[in-house]
Amino acid sequence: MHTLAAADPAPSVFAGGSNVIALIVLLLEFGMLRQAMRRDQIRLYAVQSAAISVLAIIVAAARNLPDLYALAFCSAAIKVVVVPVVVRRLLPRPGQQGAGDEIAGSGALSVASTVLVAIVVAAFGFFAIGTLPIRSPILPITALAIAFAVVLVAFVLMILRRDVVSQAIGFFSLENGVSLAALVVAATMPLIFEVVFLFDLLVAVVVFGLLIRVHHGRAESLSTSELTSLRG
């Protein structure tokens, strides 16, 4: 007769929380991919960033790393508040050319085809990480595999959406995928390195802000489909 002791041990709070939040982050990435409204994409990015901040708190409590509480606060302040507010302010105001929020049809493929491509890419990333010889009792390998899938889906968003705001959100959410992987793999990384990553995000926001302003000022649109005319 099998006893309860012979059963597989239950996952730790850290592993279970990491897996759940990683899955939420991936689902929100798919939401951004299929969303047809720029402002809704920004809202989903803010929610995704909030999930990353919650994960930082869980890791801090589970591994007794008080520095991560400061990281969670900084991450929430920058990614949940500052970045969405800045990107919203860069959108054309009502009455301006290109002010419509709809971006449906601006992708290189239809929404259904784009989501299908993203599912295939995410599955490839998930199972590719699973084949690597990475095993540790304290490493939630499932969360790491999902983080890699998030990065790949973010690339799909950046490549297939012909809208500069969507491409910016794709880049920012790619950084969330990298942050997710860093929290589950290298949570003991010195705080200064994590702060540097956030500084890099702010630099990216400035760069994309300039791109949005310049592109809209010259093309009177946020679509990048017309840039194909620059091919040699």
pLDDT of residue 138: 62
pLDDT of residue 6: 44
pLDDT of residue 67: 83
CA dihedral sign, ordered 84, 85, 90, 92: positive
Distance in angstroms (rounded) separating the CA atoms of residues 130 and 144: 9
DSSP string for residues in 143-176:
HHHHHHHHHHHHHHHHHHB-BHHHHHHHHHHHHH
pLDDT of residue 213: 72
Q: Tell me which DSSP letter residue 77 carries.
A: I
Distance in angstroms (rounded) separating the CA atoms of residues 117 and 109: 10
pLDDT of residue 88: 87
pLDDT of residue 7: 45
pLDDT of residue 108: 65
Taking the chain (232 residues) in runs of 10, the rounded mean pLDDT of each run is 46 76 94 84 93 90 85 90 88 56 57 89 90 70 90 90 83 90 76 72 80 62 56 52
pLDDT tens column, 49-103:
999 999 989 888 888 888 888 888 988 999 999 999 988 888 766 555 444 445 5
In sequence order, the 6+-apart residues with CB closer than 8 A to the CB of 49 are 75, 76, 79, 80, 83, 176
Phi/psi at 223 (5° precision) = -80, 140
pLDDT of residue 196: 73
- Helix, coil or strand: residue 67: helix
In sequence order, the 6+-apart residues with CB closer than 8 A to the CB of 109 are 117, 160
pLDDT of residue 101: 47
Would you say the pTM of this structure is higher than 0.85?
no
